[in-house]
Amino acid sequence: MRCPLCYRRVVRAVYAARFGGDHPLSNLAIGDRPDPRPAAGWVLVRVTAASLNHHDLWTLRGVSSQPLTTPQVLGCDAAGRVEELGEGTGGAPAPGTRVVVHSVIGCGVCPACLAADPGVCHRLSLLGEPPHGGTLAELVAVPAANLIPLPDGVGDEAAACLPTAYLTAYRMLFTRARLGPGTFVLVQGAGGGVATAAILLCVQAGIEVHVTSRYAAKRQAAEELGAASAFDPGDLEAARVLVERTGGGVDAVLETVGEATWGLSLRSVRPGGIVVVAGATSGPNPRAQLNRIFWRQLTVVGTSMGTRTELERLVALCASGALRPLIDRVVPLDEARSAFAALAAGEQRGKLVVRVAR
């Protein structure tokens, strides 16, 4: 499409027009942005479906790994079709191929990138963060190496849930905590996107999953998805009950909530167990309690997103029918504001998906 005034090519997009302040949603805009062009080694994807993440709210609040200065198209997750190949993209999926996009971008030449783990690249960046546009737009430019072709059995809306929440949960459970059938895990903040993904992945892998959530309705919903028990994070008895039920404590805790749940995480994990941290929604500076960490020989590890290989495994799980991402609702791009409002209010049950094009 072209702008009727300047005749430049534009795309419809959801973007942060400003950053910071007390009302992040007031920074949200839906309108036309300059259309992205693919640099050498990059391709253009025509986005069909994108999903929202808490990351988008952080961007609206002005919290980002890169300085935010100009309007920023939001979104890290997308499925779509290859539209146009940039220079030097021989071997990339042909135009028209259905793909899901891996949004982690490394420098491509450091030891981490050469080992196919760009998440620990010293120049790590994500789609939806400067200098890259996001996926909540009709077109997004991505490195050709970040495209994963989609099998017929995986729909665009399901695929659009995978690249952030499901990928992060997958890496927390299987790469970082190395959990397997018969192990026990505590997932904090059951209502969240990462937490919901973790519950579903645990159920399909035979891991006994326990959860916390501030809300009774979300605790019940988590149990309906397969959680063995659900606690209020403020329940002083929760750790004692968990230690009793699991014969000494859970093998791992998935922590994305931070200050509000850190104490419970350290009290619920078994001696020698692991706390995997991927977020700090309620605040990043809990009381560290180093005494518990060394005396009980706990491992605390950080993790972010995941690799292309891990995302491919998730696609395969969906294709086999073992995993069906939980989708709360699908809204058209021009109604994305209502989905952002639900995310900010924590009202969703599962992923909020934006249908960008058919």
Ligand X SMILES: NC(=O)c1ccc[n+]([C@@H]2O[C@H](COP(=O)([O-])OP(=O)(O)OC[C@H]3O[C@@H](n4cnc5c(N)ncnc54)[C@H](OP(=O)(O)O)[C@@H]3O)[C@@H](O)[C@H]2O)c1
Give dist(CA 16, CA 68) in Å, integer: 10
With CB under 5 to 8 Å by kind, the binding choice for 110 among ligand X, Zn ion, none is Zn ion
125 interacts with ligand X by CB under 6 A:
no
Beta strands in the chain (DSSP E): 10-16, 28-34, 42-51, 72-73, 77-85, 98-101, 104-105, 125-126, 139-143, 147-149, 184-187, 208-212, 229-231, 250-255, 269-277, 299-302, 327-332, 351-355
Give dist(CA 150, CA 280) in Å, integer: 32
Residues 225-244 that bind ligand X (CB under 6 A): 233
Pick from 48, 59, 146, 168: which binds ligand X (CB under 6 A)? 168
With CB under 5 to 8 Å by kind, the binding choice for 121 among ligand X, Zn ion, none is Zn ion
Q: What residue is closest to Zn ion based on CB?
A: 121
With CB under 5 to 8 Å by kind, the binding choice for 106 among ligand X, Zn ion, none is Zn ion
Contact 76, 55 (CB under 8 A): yes
The CA radius of gyration of the chain, in Å to the nearest whole number, is 20
121 interacts with Zn ion by CB under 5 A:
yes
133 interacts with Zn ion by CB under 5 A:
no
Element (H, E) at 156: helix 156-159
Smallest distance from ligand X to CB 95, Å: 30
357 interacts with Zn ion by CB under 5 A:
no
304 interacts with ligand X by CB under 6 A:
yes
51 interacts with ligand X by CB under 6 A:
no
257 interacts with ligand X by CB under 6 A:
yes
* SS3 label, residue 158: helix
User: Nearest to residue 74, comparing CAs of 119, 120, 33?
Assistant: 33
- The smaller minimum CB distance to ligand X, of residues 64 and 89, is found at 64
162 interacts with ligand X by CB under 6 A:
no
Residues 76-115 that bind Zn ion (CB under 5 A): 106-107, 110, 113
Helix and strand element counts for the chain (H, E): 11, 18
Element (H, E) at 267: helix 262-268
User: Nearest to residue 100, comparing CAs of 323, 315, 318?
Assistant: 315
Residue 334 burial by CB count (10 A; 0-12/13-18/19+): exposed, middle or buried? exposed
- The smaller minimum CB distance to ligand X, of residues 195 and 356, is found at 195
105 interacts with ligand X by CB under 6 A:
no
Give dist(CA 319, CA 297) in Å, integer: 39
Smallest distance from ligand X to CB 352, Å: 8
281 interacts with ligand X by CB under 6 A:
yes
- The smaller minimum CB distance to ligand X, of residues 11 and 252, is found at 252
Q: Which stretch binds ligand X (CB under 6 A): 29-37, 223-231, 255-263, 308-316?
A: 255-263
Interface ranges with ligand X (CB under 6 A): 53-55, 58, 164-165, 168, 189-195, 213-215, 218, 233, 256-257, 260-261, 278-279, 281-282, 304-305, 343, 346
| Residues in contact with Zn ion by the rule CB under 5 A | 106-107, 110, 113, 121
